[in-house]
């Protein structure tokens, strides 16, 4: 047991001496011994209980760094837009169309091309590019019941492009009479890996224009 001895010396009449011996820390009141009362370098290693100090008890940089750890495993290769295709099972989405001028009382045909952000892993056939079932002005052969998304939430099954319309001018001219979708530059061609096209047939009037727009989704097989 560690015995702490503190001698309190009081001179009485120049001759008397009183001494009090403290044998246990419990005899000291709380906060009686403060940092200012401890003599510099009085607390040495022998007076500190082994393994009682924590890392937070030391200033930053005072503890030595640990040994360097083992090298980690190599990570999986990332996907680069510069040298890869859309990964299998990945869905990409976008928008199509806009407002088209139909300034005279004549038929008009538009075929805007829509590009994928990255090339598809395989070419597309016409049967793989379709509008959702029930889209106004779209022939039955251009509709695909497996396109079950919406213009707000476009989806597509694996290997297909699904086109959704959210605004199409119909009724009296100027109006859209037919919408369609197709692959680019022949079925399964290299160009067909890069995107698709939407066809818009309209009837115009003097100074007229039509609206045909929406969203699309493609899921790589």
- 213's CB contacts (< 8 A; 6+ apart) are 95, 96, 97, 98, 99, 165, 166, 167, 168
- pTM metric for this prediction: 0.65
Selection from 170, 182, 175, 160 nearest residue 208 by Cα: 175
pLDDT of res. 47: 76
pLDDT of res. 28: 63
- For residues 162 and 217, the answer to whether their CB atoms sit within 8 Å is yes
Question: What tens digit of pLDDT does each residue of 98-120 get?
Answer: 999 999 999 999 999 999 999 99
Question: What tens digit of pLDDT does each residue of 22-80 get?
Answer: 556 666 667 677 767 777 777 777 777 887 888 777 788 787 887 888 888 888 877 66
Question: What tens digit of pLDDT does each residue of 172-215 get?
Answer: 999 999 999 999 988 889 999 999 999 999 999 999 999 999 99
* CA–CA dist 174, 121 (Å, integer): 40
- DSSP structure string for 54-92: -GGGS-TT-SPPPPPPPPPPPPPPPP-TTS--PPTT-EE
% of residues, the chain, pLDDT over 70: 81
- DSSP structure string for 93-105: EEEEEEEEEE-SS
């Amino acid at each position: 047991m560690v015995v702490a001895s503190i001698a309190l010396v009081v001179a009485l009449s120049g001759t008397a001496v009183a001494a009090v011996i403290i044998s246990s820390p419990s005899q000291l009141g709380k906060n009686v011994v403060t940092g200012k009362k401890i003599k510099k370098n009085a607390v040495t290693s022998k007076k500190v209980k082994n393994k009682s100090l924590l890392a937070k008890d030391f200033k930053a940089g005072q503890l030595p760094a640990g040994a360097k750890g083992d090298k980690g495993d190599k990570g999986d290769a990332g996907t680069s837009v510069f040298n890869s295709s859309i990964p299998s099972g990945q869905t990409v989405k976008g928008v199509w169309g806009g407002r088209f001028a139909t300034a005279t009382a004549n038929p008009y045909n538009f075929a805007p091309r829509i590009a994928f952000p990255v090339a598809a892993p395989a070419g597309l056939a016409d049967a793989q590019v379709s509008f959702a079932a029930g889209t106004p002005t779209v022939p039955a052969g251009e509709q695909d019941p497996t396109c079950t998304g919406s213009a707000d939430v476009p989806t597509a099954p694996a290997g297909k492009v699904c086109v959704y319309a959210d605004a199409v001018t119909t009724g009296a001219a100027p109006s859209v009479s037919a919408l369609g979708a197709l692959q680019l530059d022949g079925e399964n061609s290299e160009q067909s890996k890069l995107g698709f096209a939407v066809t818009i047939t309209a009837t115009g009037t003097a100074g007229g224009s039509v609206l045909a727009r929406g969203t699309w989704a493609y899921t790589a097989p």
